[in-house]
Structure 1
Amino acid sequence: MIKAVIIDDEVNAQDLLEKTLLRYFPNKFNIVEKCHSVDSGVQAIRQYEPDLVFLDIQMPEKNGFELFKYFEAINFEVIFTTAYNQFAIKAIKRSALDYLLKPINHLDLAEAIKRFECKNEGSTAQKKLSLLLENLNVNDQKVSKIAFPTVEGFELIHSNQILYCKAESNYCCIKKIDGITRTATKTLKYVEEILPAGAFIRIHKSFVINLNFVVRYHKANKEVELTNGEKLPVSFRKEEDFLNAILQNH
């Protein structure tokens, strides 16, 4: 069974999550403790050493992210729960971590648990949570590393190493400036949302490019040329946004 701790200041939210887990995943979870604060959560984690922690982000005294400063090593996986806070969600996505929006849907919960069962490794959690805390402390334009989910796990890539991203069905190919291509197990839309908005722009339904590596634009052919010599199509609908972004970026 999966040993789990629920940390949420709202008793109703705790009970709803517990009931959903027991109803849709019978005999799979052992909820060893339900906590209403970061401090009580820290005590429960130290006492029970859970496999998984459901952690609310917004709590009155300390927010959920403060929990990690009490542990030298993170030996548990985390699924964040939140009702809002777009900035936090973006940082969580960039760290290849899971989150659930309240009220929690059992289908979303099932997907998160499926991913947990595939990646249940403490060292992986440590790396991703370290990246999350790093991303929370910088603004959008200074994000250094992003964790992209892959078939094997995840890959850390500096955003300034990305030349462009290309849609490949439900996956996304990430072309780096060193010529290496990595495949993320996410859609181009998902990847576009976690890239720094000022540096990256969608130029076509299949391409998001890094504006810092644009060499020239061929208006007649509606093609953008990048520093590696590749030419990518610019769709008619995206042309104006692309040209405006180039002017603002330079």
Structure 2
Amino acid sequence: MIKALIIDDEINAQSLLEKTLEKYFPNKFNIVEKCNSVDSGVLAIKKYEPELVFLDIQMPEKNGFELFRYFEVINFEVIFTTAYNQFAIKAIKRSALDYLLKPINKLDLADAIKRFENRNKQSFAQKKLALLLENLNVNDQNVSKIAFPTVEGFELIHSNQVLYCKAENNYCCIKKIDDLTVLVTKTLKHVEEILPLASFKRIHKSYVINLNYVVRYNKVNKEVELTNGEKLPVSFRKEEDFINAILQNH
């Protein structure tokens, strides 16, 4: 059984999550304790050493992000349970961490648990949570690093190293300026959401490009040429937005 801990200041939310886990994942979880604050959660984590922590963000005295400052080594995985603002959600996504929006949907919960179970045995929790705290402290348009989930774990890439992203069914290929390609286990839509809005633009159902690496645009052929010489299609529906973005970006 998976040893798990729930940290949430709302008693009803604690009970609902516990009952949902018992109903849809019988005999899979051992909820060692339910805590209503960061301080009590820290004590429980040190006492029980859980594998997984369900962590609320908005709590009265300290928010959930502050919990990680009490640990030199993070050896547990985290699934955030939150109704928090969009910036925090973006930071969580960029850090390759899971989150569940309240009220929690059982299908979303199942997906998060499946990802937890399928993760590489080598723990990436420490790096992911450190990256989360870094992303929370930077301007939304100038994120220094993004953690892109891969089959093996995740890969840290500076957003300015990304040349373009291409849809590959339910996965996404990230082409970097050094000509290397990274296969990400997320959709193009997900990747688009966590990239800085000022620099990246969707030009086609299959492509998101970094505007900083555009060399020219051919309106006749509806093709954009990038600094590496590649030419990518621009769809009719995306053309006007793309041209406006180029003009604003420069």
Match in the other structure for 1:242: 242
Runs of 4+ in 1 over 4 A off after TM superposition: none
Alpha-carbon distance in 1 for matches of 2:206, 2:21 = 38
Residue by residue over 1:127-181, the C-alpha shift from the partner in whole angstroms, topping out at 9 and shown as x without a partner, is: 1101111000011221011111111111111110000001111111100001111
Residue by residue over 1:88-131, the C-alpha shift from the partner in whole angstroms, topping out at 9 and shown as x without a partner, is: 11111111100011111112111111111112647301011011
Kindly provide the amino acid, as one letter, of the partner of residue 140 in structure 2: D
The alignment status of 1:211 with 2:230, answered yes or no, reads: no
Does the CA-based 8 Å contact 2:120-2:152 persist in structure 1?
no
TM-score (norm 2): 0.98
Structure 1 segments unaligned to the other structure (5+ residues): none
Match in the other structure for 2:55: 55
Match in the other structure for 2:232: 232
- Written as runs of structure 1 = structure 2, the 5 A alignment for 1:138-149 is 138-149=138-149
The alignment status of 1:199 with 2:199, answered yes or no, reads: yes
- Written as runs of structure 1 = structure 2, the 5 A alignment for 1:57-96 is 57-96=57-96
Count of residue pairs brought into register by the alignment = 250
Match in the other structure for 1:104: 104
State the Cα RMSD in Å.
Answer: 1.0
Kindly provide the amino acid, as one letter, of the partner of residue 187 in structure 2: T
Identity of aligned residues (%): 85
Match in the other structure for 1:222: 222
Kindly provide the amino acid, as one letter, of the partner of residue 8 in structure 2: D
Match in the other structure for 1:123: 123
Cα deviation for residue 24 of structure 1 reads: 1.2
Alpha-carbon distance in 2 for matches of 1:142, 1:38 = 29
Match in the other structure for 1:165: 165
Match in the other structure for 2:31: 31
Is 122-131 or 217-226 further displaced after alignment? 122-131
Residue by residue over 1:176-210, the C-alpha shift from the partner in whole angstroms, topping out at 9 and shown as x without a partner, is: 00111111111111110000000000011111000
Is 120-129 or 61-70 further displaced after alignment? 120-129
Structure 2 segments unaligned to the other structure (5+ residues): none
Alpha-carbon distance in 1 for matches of 2:10, 2:122 = 28
SS at match of 1:140: coil
Cα deviation for residue 84 of structure 1 reads: 3.3
SS at match of 1:142: coil
Does the CA-based 8 Å contact 2:87-2:140 persist in structure 1?
no
SS at match of 1:198: coil
CA spacing shift, 1:125–1:90, aligned 2, 3 Å? same
Kindly provide the amino acid, as one letter, of the partner of residue 111 in structure 1: D
Alpha-carbon distance in 2 for matches of 1:123, 1:142 = 28
SS at match of 1:123: coil
Cα deviation for residue 21 of structure 1 reads: 0.8
TM-score (norm 1): 0.98
Alpha-carbon distance in 1 for matches of 2:217, 2:24 = 53
Alpha-carbon distance in 1 for matches of 2:216, 2:107 = 46
